[in-house]
């Protein structure tokens, strides 16, 4: 549960921080800044010999920001519709999963103990963030649902793998990735709803303030995870 709460918060922060950077710095600079941050965070993650909460969640946050910037720039700078980018990214993600499975014979996150598998993992994560951004904006703007209603739609969608795994014995790996993909538009839709002006069906709190509050909450959660280690299977970690 701590993982999923933190994950949804990072998706929300990634959305509003991306919007903040694009509006303040312009798309080219935002791409450069988020790209440098992503490379630095992943370099730290790949140097880690085991899961360490601050390093891992820093990488997730930077993937969230960079993935969002990439999807937004495709739409704003190059005029690619959210429908087109959503469909395209679905195929990209499918290609990542197929290549990963053919190479490693598993998509389980509990089997990631080689560098190659970690590369596949982060490629999948980056694609899910970009896909979730495009899908969330598609439902909110292209389909005219608005950000709050869009968030409710994805809240219902994420309940599907949760219930199916809990009661219907859905494959755990399939349920995980289903839920992981949906967390992106879920968190982004609600953060956009809080940040965008009322003229766009939002609360008008602003990208900067929403990003800052989410950052504080995420830092507090990661500090708790680092100290209390409730997300660590101590027996498995020792092995």
Q: How many whole angstroms separate alpha carbon 84 and alpha carbon 130?
A: 13
pTM of the model: 0.90
> Confidence class of residue 236 from pLDDT cuts 50, 70 and 90?
low
Token pair in block for residue 3: 């993982």
CA distance 193 to 116: 38
Are 4 and 179 in contact by the 8 Å Cβ rule? The answer is yes
Q: What is the mean pLDDT of residues 2-14?
A: 94
Question: What pLDDT sits at residue 131?
Answer: 87
pLDDT digits (tens, 9 = 90+) for 133-145: 888 889 998 899 9
Residue whose C-alpha is closest to residue 135's, from 83, 190, 61, 64: 83
- Among 1-15, 75-89, 157-171, which is the least confidently predicted range? 75-89
Percent of the chain whose pLDDT exceeds 70: 97
Q: For residue 239, is pLDDT > 70?
A: no
pLDDT value of position 129: 86
For 164-180, how does the pLDDT look when each residue is reduced to its tens digit (9 = 90+)? 999 999 999 999 999 99
């Amino acid at each position: 549960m701590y993982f999923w709460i933190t994950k949804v918060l990072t998706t929300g922060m990634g959305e509003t921080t991306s919007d903040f950077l694009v509006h303040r710095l312009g798309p080219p600079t935002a791409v450069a800044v988020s790209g440098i941050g992503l490379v630095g965070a992943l370099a730290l993650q790949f140097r880690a010999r085991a899961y360490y909460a601050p390093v891992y969640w820093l990488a997730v946050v930077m993937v969230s920001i960079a993935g969002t910037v990439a999807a937004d720039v495709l739409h704003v700078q190059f005029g690619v519709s959210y429908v087109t980018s959503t469909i395209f990214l679905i195929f990209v993600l499918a290609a990542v999963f197929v290549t990963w499975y053919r190479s490693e014979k598993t998509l389980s996150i509990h089997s990631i103990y080689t560098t190659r598998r970690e590369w596949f993992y982060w490629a999948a994560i980056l694609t899910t963030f970009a896909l979730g951004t495009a899908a969330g904006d598609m439902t909110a703007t292209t389909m005219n649902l608005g950000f709050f209603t869009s968030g409710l739609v994805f809240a219902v969608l994420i309940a599907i793998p949760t219930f199916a795994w809990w009661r219907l014995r859905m494959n755990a790996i399939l349920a995980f990735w289903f839920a992981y993909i949906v967390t992106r538009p879920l968190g982004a839709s609600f953060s956009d709803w809080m940040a965008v002006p009322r003229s766009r069906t939002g609360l008008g709190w602003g990208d900067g303030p929403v990003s800052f509050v989410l950052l504080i909450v995420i830092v507090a959660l990661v500090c708790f995870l680092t100290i209390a280690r409730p997300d660590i299977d101590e027996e498995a970690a020792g092995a």
